[in-house]
Chains A and B, each alone.
Chain A
Amino acid sequence: MQLPPALHARLAAGPGAAEPLPVERNPAAGAAPFRFAARLVHFPREHEFFEDGDVQRHLYLQDLFTRVAVEPEKPRVPEFTCQVAGCCQVFDTLEDYEHHYHTLHRNMCSFCKRAFPSGHLLDIHILEWHDSLFQILSERQDMYQCLVEGCTEKFKTSKDRKDHLVRCHLYPADFRFDKPKKSRGPATPIATLQVPADALGDDREQSEGDAMEVCSEHVAPRTEPMAERPTYSHRIPSTICFGQGVSRGFKSTKKRSKHQ
């Protein structure tokens, strides 16, 4: 296929179009036995016209085994500890640290030191557990927000919300970020470091992963967790931070984004 040489120059030049030639149709055109008429054609997704392109798309999807943007070996750095006060985790690659930081220190409740997977869940947690107004308001109106981002439903009790989560959103009944408030649990909320892998029979005590359940059952005023601290500090896992400044209370800390 030989393209006119001027064509490439035309692509480089600015937008525009030739003045259209006058259109002048004769009714005899396309009259029987002829049938041509200029037509716009739409093809639906299953049309066989798309077979070749679709097959190539799937060859592309399957053919590849690993990513090509060859990720350089994680550069090793001298071992260092997490800088967040109270956290003593040690790292030898920056990636591991970054992942650790994002997972554990990014969305953390400043009252009970729980880490949450998302800002949305943290906000809900703070509201429900540490905001004294919440209790008062929740007696008058539905205050328990649905945990699913994008769903705006609110409920009178956390139980109603759980029912909603299970029924409408098909969430598991034991969703770990929505443990029901227990009536007066043991005073060792954030203690065990054991992974919440309760599967193999150990269902007694949830770990810090199960954030919502674990903080103390009553609405804790700001000082209370502090007061309790000494009683269980010997069981505080190394990954949990009690320092100031990294965890989130009511104030927003959307400042950090240098890792991105």
Chain B
Amino acid sequence: MWNRRHGRLRTVGCGMEELRRRRREREAELRKARREQQLVSKRLLRDDTPEEAEGGCVALILGEAEIQQFLWLAQRGTGEKEREGALVSLRRGLQHPETQQTFIRLKGSMRTLVGLLTSNQALLQLEAARCLHELSHSEQSAVAEACLPATSYLLTYLAGHSSDLIELCLYTLGNLIVESESVRRQLLPQGIVPALASCIQSPHLTVLEALGYALSQLLQAKEAPKKIIPSASACSSVLSTPLPQHMLRLLQPGPKLNPGVAVEFAWCLHYIICSQVNNALLITHGAVSTLGLLLLYLAGAVQRSEDAGLELLLCPVLRCLSNLLTEAAGGQVQLRDERVVVSLFIILQFLLQKQPSLLPEGLWLLNNLTANSPGFCTSLLSLDLIEPLLQLLPVSNVVSVLVLTVLCNVAEKGPAYCWRLWPGPLLPSLLDMLAFSDTEVVGQSLELLQLLFLYRPEAVQAFLQQSGLQALKRHEEEAQLQDRVHALQQTALHR
């Protein structure tokens, strides 16, 4: 799979501090891009040969004449080695943005490159595909869009048999897909969806990962819910192909699960599911049970602290499951096993330590699991999970609100549930929450107090003893809270 290579590439010439700074910068850029709905990324597939491992710095800027010369040699050179060598030199040059610009301005250059791509010289063809891939990775739209004449061939070769070439074509297509909607308006009629669908049966993991990447790029498109996912529009939509079944097959836990492949397809599934086009179809294919089993598997891996890249699966899997549970089509019915809750807590613990920013997503799933399910609420109580849940309260306001909401889900099921909530650590934690100033956090705490007092009146006495009224008083003036504060004060005083 693809992985962070902190090692060789990035530490060359810069310390950890520098790395962290760069990462923060990148993260800020991505955050901004997301808010502007411009979040797109491309991938670069390069052979890790020693001479290229130093990264882009070996790229030479090529002039017009040199490009022309290399193209001419690639076509007419004597002997295959010379022709291939010319294309290798061209490709190295194309790693440089300036050479890319020169290349696309040069008349006939793309036509020649496409010619080489369709040549019968296998290695020449592969090298031409690598040149195109370099261009597709460009940040300049003009460069990537200059590759458009090649797309029908890139798609045609997906049906071929050379896994190296297919992988390259897929990463190149994946890069082009996110360039603009007009690119996608060309790729869709050219049959990209059926072409990807026939690729998914490939036995090569590298091909599958590249396919997952390309498909996730396609499904991320703004117009995907209307134009790419739907099952109504004949052959060119994702849900009308066997893709969904195969995606789920590739997400089945077990020794055959490949993290790199699974990550890509889990994101694909997320983009499909959150679009709510036809989730009933996915549920019929067993999406809920597959994802549920995958969650158990991930918890097992996290618990053994295996560093296999499986943690990258957490985010999309949590999202898929959580959104599927909201489907009327019976997402809930398929999920009864309390080990799902157990797994989720093991995962929450992992996230708290490693990726606290994803905690809300895990708690969101816990909310959807418990909202309508007395079974899961009972499991929370019988497995002693209330206390660990309360330990998450101080993490952040967002997390607090979600934790309190889950607790409300339990409490609102009635006296039998509240009987198990008090006595216990809940009330002291709630009193601590009342010291907060965030309206939402305090508001949700008031809701929980009301449920607790209603179903477990004995708790009121304890509340009074622990200076609950003073805590409430702090929020008397708050417009959004005062009605509820008064109501609770009345309840407490008239017991």
Residue positions of A touching B, CB distance < 8 A? 1-4, 6-8, 10-11, 13, 15-26, 28-30, 32-46, 49-71, 95-96, 98-100, 102-104, 106-107, 115, 117-121, 148-152, 168-172, 175-177, 193-200, 207-210, 237, 239-240, 259-260
Known contacts A100-B123, A117-B157, A195-B121: A62-B26 contact under CB 8 Å: yes
Using a Cβ cutoff of 8 Å, how many contacts connect chains A and B?
375
Q: B265 an interface residue at 8 Å Cβ cutoff?
A: no
A22 adjacent to B414 (CB under 8 Å): yes
State which of A3, A46, A55, A210 has its C-beta within 8 Å of the C-beta of B349. Answer: A3
Cβ–Cβ < 8 Å partners of A120 in chain B = 159
B379 adjacent to A17 (CB under 8 Å): yes
State which of A7, A25, A57, A194 has its C-beta within 8 Å of the C-beta of B413. Answer: A25
Between-chain CB contacts (< 8 Å), 23 pairs: A2-B387, A2-B388, A4-B384, A4-B385, A18-B382, A21-B413, A38-B409, A42-B323, A46-B37, A59-B23, A64-B5, A66-B9, A103-B165, A115-B120, A121-B156, A169-B152, A194-B76, A195-B116, A195-B120, A197-B113, A199-B111, A200-B71, A207-B120
Known contacts A8-B303, A148-B190: A65-B342 contact under CB 8 Å: no
Complex: chain B residue closest to A50, CB-CB: B319
Q: B124 an interface residue at 8 Å Cβ cutoff?
A: yes
A54 adjacent to B195 (CB under 8 Å): no
B487 adjacent to A52 (CB under 8 Å): no
A33 adjacent to B416 (CB under 8 Å): no
Q: B383 an interface residue at 8 Å Cβ cutoff?
A: yes
Cβ–Cβ < 8 Å partners of B303 in chain A = 8, 11
A64 adjacent to B2 (CB under 8 Å): yes
Cβ–Cβ < 8 Å partners of A198 in chain B = 111, 115
Known contacts A11-B346, A21-B413, A194-B75: A53-B358 contact under CB 8 Å: yes
Complex: chain B residue closest to A176, CB-CB: B118
Complex: chain B residue closest to A20, CB-CB: B374
- Max count, chain B CB within 10 A of own CB: residue among A40, A102, A118: A40
Q: SS class of chain B's interface: helix, strand, loop or mixed?
A: helix
Interface size class of B (residues with CB under 8 A): 35 or more
Known contacts A18-B382, A209-B118: A40-B375 contact under CB 8 Å: no
B115 adjacent to A199 (CB under 8 Å): yes
Q: B437 an interface residue at 8 Å Cβ cutoff?
A: no
Q: A22-B416, A60-B263 are in contact. List 16 more A-B contacts (CB 8 A).
A: A2-B388, A19-B378, A26-B455, A28-B454, A29-B454, A34-B446, A36-B412, A49-B361, A50-B361, A64-B4, A103-B122, A107-B160, A117-B159, A121-B156, A151-B191, A200-B75
The 6 closest A-B pairs by CB, nearest first: A150-B194, A197-B115, A118-B159, A199-B111, A33-B483, A24-B414
Known contacts A100-B123, A194-B75: A36-B368 contact under CB 8 Å: no
Please, how many angstroms separate the alpha-carbon atoms of A24 and B9 in the complex?
A: 61
Complex: chain B residue closest to A17, CB-CB: B338
Q: B63 an interface residue at 8 Å Cβ cutoff?
A: no
B447 adjacent to A34 (CB under 8 Å): yes
Digitize B472-495: 1 where CB-to-A-CB distance is under 8 Å, 0 elsewhere: 000000000001101100000000
